[in-house]
Structure 1
């Protein structure tokens, strides 16, 4: 088949990472470029693009390089699925921070003899967030049915599938007022706190660019988007295994021991269970929990029962964003 079809060019997708002034923690994936057009309007093209997002041709077990603006370099290697993760202690990363705490870098293939054409002259931009000294707290937010209408409580998740296949990211609707609320949390009560926002989801990394475009189009504050690999969907878990989303949240808490966090999710999935367990694992570090109401009586009842007697942390079931804004203002989180 290779004799009839021209091979796709190679690319590296750098997922926005998060770290500290002395820790560099980023992930990404090396793939063939499938030329996915996230803005295409035709139903057939949307279907084709969805197939391309999930039928990926990863570049396995190949060395990559991270390069900073002063030519300081790090090296890593992709795994069997084309993913890479670099977790290194590096001093003085604050030298590379901009005003919002973002550190810019470039990723490239170390092996330039891959016998394949590489996009962008083998230079792929990436960024990592370091919360600034003015930050008073962080925000960890679910995506599905928390800021993005997805239908996660629908039977067999058919609404999720249909929305992803047949709707452009630029046409997906956020929950009303959510972007404004997140900007207020980002600014904080002082107005210039630059409190970090982390977006977590059970969705696969294949949807990273799709979700990134949704957040950008709808003017949400910029922040790391933390997803999971497709292989994790097929993996058989032990009863004591934590969901990948919960593992990500735990890592964020451990990365920033000096920060407390506001946790935002919905009442349809397992956010309530995860957030209660997190608050028990990290006493006095959860400032508030906000859960979006969903149109599912049984699940709403279950979540309400979970929080009976839960008095140590401010908790609110949110029907409209204005309720969350009023609550956050009352508790001194925002102006």
Structure 2
């Protein structure tokens, strides 16, 4: 009978963002497949990857989102187990710490639920409210921008190998990336808390994998914005924007007085997306940094795009040092 024992329940609240008057959080209710993020055994890596994508969602169930001041939002999960709270809230910033993080917890609405680990029906969550004196925000891609994934490899086979057969703790960030992001986070004076947002086409199934990678490699803490696995294979309608573009536009709309720096790579569609965003929001994008990938045709294409583009500083860089030097010379970061 133990073979048919049901897994305990969990709630994964994705690190999100809000404003002093706006509470916004997303997450997912799932059965806990006991994925050991520390396990580096090859067989277990493959099994854990399978578990990430073969999820057992907790559908159409009520949740409570409780803030530290006692305020509770009630929400229902959808048919994929996802939930979202998007509500007005006065003085939310008063609940934030010095870096702008608001902590709260999510729980199942049914007080009699017994399937959580150790019967503890409380799951921690956070959202970020950028500091009033933030100089700019940073919206950064992840794949081949700070983490080598091989999206330009033949049939993207390197993406599969790196994701399935390599532990997050064994993945090596691109040289100097963490230092560059910390400099941007600290800003021109070295004591700012400029917000960093990690935006990727990867599915939410990889959220904890990417969260561990960023933490393990000392990247600045920031919201991780991904997409539903179901939408990865869905053909976009004519005129429909890519999910990454929509996420960055939402950031620009949420923080209308905050300029942004956009960071991506030359491998896929980042150059086109970023230039289109900069054109649609004149004066809002301080710079575009595109890390050069080892693909001659794609590099030539991006060089052609940037050659006559003068509206926003846009650089194709071969190293973090090049980006750091440009950011320093333009006053985005401090001298040291």
TM-score > 0.5 by shorter chain? yes
Q: How does 1:62-73 map to 2 (within 5 A)?
A: 62-73=61-72
1:42 aligns with 2:41: yes
TM-aligned CA deviation for residue 78 of structure 1: 0.7
Distance 2:165 2:2 in 1: 33
Q: Any idea what SS the aligned residue of 1:288 has?
A: strand
- Match of residue 144 from structure 2: 145
CA-atom RMSD, angstroms? 1.1
- Match of residue 255 from structure 1: 254
Distance 1:257 1:96 in 2: 22
Is residue 64–residue 110 contact of structure 1 (8 Å, CA) maintained in 2? yes
Q: How does 1:33-112 map to 2 (within 5 A)?
A: 33-112=32-111
Q: How does 1:19-30 map to 2 (within 5 A)?
A: 19-30=18-29
Unaligned segments of structure 1, at least 5 residues? none
- Which TM-score applies when normalising by structure 2? 0.97
Distance 1:188 1:289 in 2: 16
TM-aligned CA deviation for residue 113 of structure 1: 4.5
1:196 aligns with 2:195: yes
TM-aligned CA deviation for residue 326 of structure 1: 0.4
- Match of residue 242 from structure 2: 243
User: Runs ≥4 in structure 1, deviation > 6 angstroms?
Assistant: none
Distance 1:294 1:143 in 2: 13
Is residue 176–residue 321 contact of structure 1 (8 Å, CA) maintained in 2? yes
Distance 1:87 1:229 in 2: 18
Is residue 185–residue 334 contact of structure 1 (8 Å, CA) maintained in 2? yes
Q: How does 1:162-311 map to 2 (within 5 A)?
A: 162-311=161-310
Q: Any idea what SS the aligned residue of 1:275 has?
A: helix
Is residue 134–residue 192 contact of structure 1 (8 Å, CA) maintained in 2? no
TM-aligned CA deviation for residue 3 of structure 1: 7.4
Unaligned segments of structure 2, at least 5 residues? none
Is residue 259–residue 285 contact of structure 1 (8 Å, CA) maintained in 2? yes
Aligned length: 333
- Which TM-score applies when normalising by structure 1? 0.97
Provide closer, same or farther for how the CA distance between residues 220 and 3 of structure 1 changes in structure 2, counting only shifts above 3 A: closer
- Match of residue 115 from structure 2: 117
- Match of residue 325 from structure 2: 326
